[in-house]
Chain A
Amino acid sequence: MKMKKWFIALVVLAFVATAFAGCGSGNGGNGGDADGETIKIGANFELSGAVAKYGEDTMEGIKLAVEEVNAAGGIDGKKVELVTLDNTSDSAEAKAIATRLATQENVLAIIGPATTGATQATIPVTEENQIAVITASGTADNLTVKDDGTVNEYIFRICFYDSVQGKIGANFAADNMGAKKVVLISDNSNDYSMGIAKSFKETLAESWTDVEIVREENITAGDTDFSAVLTNIKAVDFDMIYAPVYDTEAALLIKQARDLGIDAPIMGADGFDSASAMGEVIGMENFNNVFFTGHFAAGDPMAVDFTALYQEKLNKEPNGFNALGYDLANYVMQACERAEELTKEGVHAALLDGSTFSGVTGTFTLDEFHNPIKSVVVNEYVQGVPTFKARVEP
């Protein structure tokens, strides 16, 4: 009986919420045109809350790119104006802000949010207002695809999606490292790890039939003692470990492997992109022969100019989010430039025109699911410092 009451209350609440959401978008029909003097782009980012660091870092890169374009005269003589709003790292707030940007601020396109969850929350808004949302760092595989396998028409991204990293990992292991016998360790409590492990295996089976997975082991997020798994691995003959897990587990895994005398190279995905936290666990001088796929490396020849510019303007070394933000802003501004008319429909059409973009995180065109086909950076930890190793094609 009690359950039933709760259920009814929930249903009522859901109705009220939908009704209000409907109201909010009622006045949205007219928006989208540039007001003649400036080109307005909405920025919907995590500037406070749990993942504020992602949003702030991305915004830093975006602002730099916009400054540059405006200093060079803007687009078709019009200055670019950013309308930046803080979604407080909250998905519901991200949705509300997307609505506000589309209906009240009349922006041409929305960039951000930084995380998959918040970006997903904006999908209904994009469809209702026919406005493009482009994220720089939402990497979940299904972000741009609906449950029925069709594309989310107004959602775009300029970063690789998670399981691409499995493919890159396989290519790097086989091609650059010359590995023949690989041990695969994945975290069976999270989709990220399982997805990457799956595409790693598939790529080896398809393209590198001479490379064998000699042992597969599972760990679970929250585990701290990996000695049993590592002792098993030690007993088999292998030349490389591929372990797409998050940094907390990765750090303990690497430390315990080295303690047990396993010196083989260990490779992971962007979960390893956490130099200081992992270095604390492993110890800088022991933190070697570890590789990971990432979005950006400061030492990448493609990014030399950008790194220098960052040093000059902001007096620091750019990180991956800075670089993605810089590319994101440039990508959208170039779409505005290509657009036949400066409306949100025009910009959306320009995003779909198949042009090639060349940025500091890579050169790419979008595929049919709005995912960029681009090369990925592989970094190597040398005494705890991530160092550019190679660019690998998917």
Chain B
Amino acid sequence: MEKLIQQLINGISIGSIYALIALGYTMVYGIIKLINFAHGEILMIGAYVGLICVTTFKLPLIAAMLIAMVVCAILGMLIERVAYKPLRNAPRIALLITAIGVSFLLQYIMLYRFSATPMVYPASITGSFGSIQIGNIIIPVIRIVVTVVTIILMILVQIIIKKTKLGKGMRAVSSDRDAAQLMGVSVDRSISFTFLLGSALAAVAGVMYGVMFNVSPMMGSSSGIKAFTAAVFGGIGNIPGAILGGFLLGIIETMVSAYISSSIKDAAAFAILIIILLVRPSGLLGKNVREKV
């Protein structure tokens, strides 16, 4: 029982990181029907920005995270402006390939600059969290922090999307771009804002991932693909779906390596994904909407 609870905590904490990243994938897909493969790289750059802030500039972790959010938000908007906007009316495959190109570009720039050797947040920061003990269960505090921060951010995102003018614009563009434009919604601004929001969330995920584990130029591709899976799992384009998908993927992965074998955790997680998509092609919470012809 104790082991089960401990494993659940492990799964939820890694799942909350997946969920944070998955939000970015799903929001961008919702609004411009693009699988933004560069999203994982935004996370990676966020992790590096945070690391540089705490090591070179000796800033506290909170400040480092805020700076990483700002840098990534700007970077996300910039990528959209430069690489995606000119292709908005091009065939969707061209956009997809561009996204892959941007992803590799960022990855290899960072590889060139920082080399493949993983870097870590200083032990003075990572060690300062410690662990708490409840009965026989020991929980590293960082895992609680990650989960709580994720939940707070998710509530914030929901409020922004549901209550603010920009959020309403996003939803309008997402459901019908032309109609939204006719109603006076600025499509460009709505799309930019989507990238801003998604990238800022990825930056938070990147910094938290870095504090928990390590930072390397390739970190975005592995956690990015997991988060993308989580988004599809929950129903791509659907925000609560991305959150659910993220948590579920984290828990499934942990349970498989806990009770079956750690060497097949990814295989098992993806097998479950395939089964779910066979049964529900639009994902767990996705609506089965027919594409307009």
Contact = CB atoms under 8 A, between A and B. Distances in A.
Interface of A: 188, 217-220, 222, 224-225, 227-229, 231-232, 234-235, 248, 251-252, 255-256, 259-261, 277, 279-284, 286
Interface residues of B, number: 35
Given A219-B262, A248-B118, A231 B214 contact: no
A176 to B, nearest CB: 29
5 contacts: A228-B7, A252-B213, A259-B140, A281-B123, A283-B126
Q: What are the 7 tightest A-B residue pairs by CB atom distance, in nearest-first order?
A: A283-B123, A224-B213, A218-B263, A227-B10, A228-B257, A261-B138, A259-B140
Given A224-B213, A228-B258, 13 more contacts: A222-B218, A225-B10, A227-B254, A228-B7, A229-B262, A234-B6, A251-B120, A252-B214, A261-B133, A280-B122, A283-B124, A283-B127, A286-B127
A252 B209 CA distance: 13
A217 B120 CA distance: 25
A368 to B, nearest CB: 36
B261 A260 contact: no
Nearest to A256: B140
Interface in B1-57: 2-3, 6-7, 10-11, 14
Given A219-B262, A280-B123, A229 B257 contact: yes
B89 interface: no
A258 to B, nearest CB: 9
Nearest to B7: A231
A260 B262 contact: no
Contacts of A284: 123
Contact of B213 (A188, A225, A282): A225
A260 B3 contact: no
Nearest to A252: B213
Given A248-B118, A261-B131, A228 B262 contact: yes
A251 to B, nearest CB: 8
A260 B124 CA distance: 18
A188 B263 contact: yes
Contacts of B261: 218
Contact of B3 (A235, A252, A255, A261): A235
A224 B214 contact: yes
Given A227-B10, A283-B123, A222 B222 contact: yes
A225 B127 contact: no
A259 B6 contact: no
A234 B133 CA distance: 14
Contacts of B3: 231-232, 234-235
A280 B138 contact: no
A289 B214 CA distance: 23
A262 to B, nearest CB: 9
Nearest to A232: B258
Contacts of A217: 262
A203 to B, nearest CB: 23
A277 B127 CA distance: 16
A229 B264 CA distance: 12
Contacts, number: 78
Contacts of B258: 228, 231-232
Given A228-B257, A231-B7, A280-B120, A218 B262 contact: yes
Interface string B153-183: 0000000000000000000000000000000
Nearest to A218: B263
Contacts of A235: 2-3
B119 to A, nearest CB: 8
Given A218-B261, A283-B126, A284-B123, A228 B138 contact: no
Contact of B131 (A229, A260, A279): A260
Contacts of A282: 123
Contacts of A261: 131, 133, 138
Contacts of A229: 257, 262
Contacts of A228: 7, 10-11, 253-254, 257-258, 262, 265
Contacts of A231: 3, 6-7, 10, 258
Which of B117, B126, B143, B209 has the most CB atoms of chain A within a 10 A radius of its CB?
Answer: B126
Interface in B234-248: none
Q: Which of A217, A229, A277, A279 has the most CB of B within 10 A?
A: A229
A225 B133 contact: no
- Of A224, A282, A284, the most chain B CB neighbours within 10 A belong to A224
A232 B261 CA distance: 11
Nearest to A281: B120
Contacts of B118: 248
A281 B123 CA distance: 6
Contacts of B265: 228
Contacts of A260: 131, 138, 140
Nearest to A189: B263
B131 to A, nearest CB: 5
Contacts of B133: 261
Interface in B108-131: 117-118, 120, 122-124, 126-127, 131
B131 A259 contact: yes
B214 A248 contact: yes
B7 A281 contact: no
A248 B209 CA distance: 15
Contacts of A218: 261-263
Contacts of A234: 3, 6
Contacts of B2: 235
Contacts of A248: 118, 214
A256 to B, nearest CB: 8
Nearest to B138: A261
Contacts of B213: 224-225, 252
Most A CB atoms within 10 A — which of B222, B257, B258? B257
A130 B117 CA distance: 39
